[in-house]
Amino acid sequence: MPDFVKKIMKANGDVLQSGEELLAATIGQPSGTFSRQALGGIVGVMAAKKMADKKMASLDGSDASGIAASIPPNQQLIIGLSDRRLLFFSQAAMSGNPKDLVADLDLSEIFEMILEKHKMTFSLVVRFSDNSARMFECVKMAKPAGLVEAFEKLARGRAA
């Protein structure tokens, strides 16, 4: 799997602010994408929706409104974490490279990141300061744990 930090820096390094450092990156697709592909057809769509609804229901009332609504839905996005912001890039269809910065959020707006391991994928939930949340599905090869670990390290540093 490609190094998404390098890909972002090569294609979109100019979006970083002066002195800002990109720490980690992964790729996230709409929740249930893998299930839809694996199971196919209407069965895959229903299974994916049921799984996503169950996960969101476990988040104490969080939904995709508020801050979460500023992140484009139903798209595969490259997610980058800097020492200041969480960055979301659209992905070029043919090359898979980061294309345009579609959303960026100050780290003060990010409450937590939760990573849940499944058989073939991870669920990455980003919860925001207004209790909204966005869930992504990440394939294991995209190494989403590095993004969550880097965020937790930054969060501990801010709390100290």
Per-residue pLDDT of the chain (160 residues; tens, 9 = 90+): 679 999 999 999 999 999 999 999 999 998 766 655 555 555 555 555 565 555 555 555 556 678 999 999 889 999 999 999 999 999 988 888 999 999 999 999 999 999 999 888 899 999 999 999 999 999 888 999 999 999 999 998 876 6
Whole-number Å distance between alpha carbons of 84 and 8 = 16
**pLDDT value, residue 65:** 78
Tokens of 100: 């345009």
Whole-number Å distance between alpha carbons of 115 and 113 = 7
**pLDDT value, residue 38:** 57
The 10 Å Cβ neighbour count of residue 27 is: 25
Tokens of 39: 């199971």
**pLDDT value, residue 118:** 84
**pLDDT value, residue 62:** 52
Domain ranges of the chain: 4-159
pTM: 0.84
- Asked whether 134 and 126 are in contact (CB, 8 A), the reply is yes
Q: Number of helices and strands (H, E) in the chain?
A: 4, 7
| Closest to 39 in 3D by CA, of 29, 50, 54, 24 | 50
- CATH for 4-159 (2.30.29.30, 2.40.30.10, 3.30.310.80, 1.10.3720.10): 2.30.29.30
DSSP-H helix ranges across 13-143: 33-39, 41-57
**pLDDT value, residue 44:** 54
**pLDDT value, residue 51:** 59
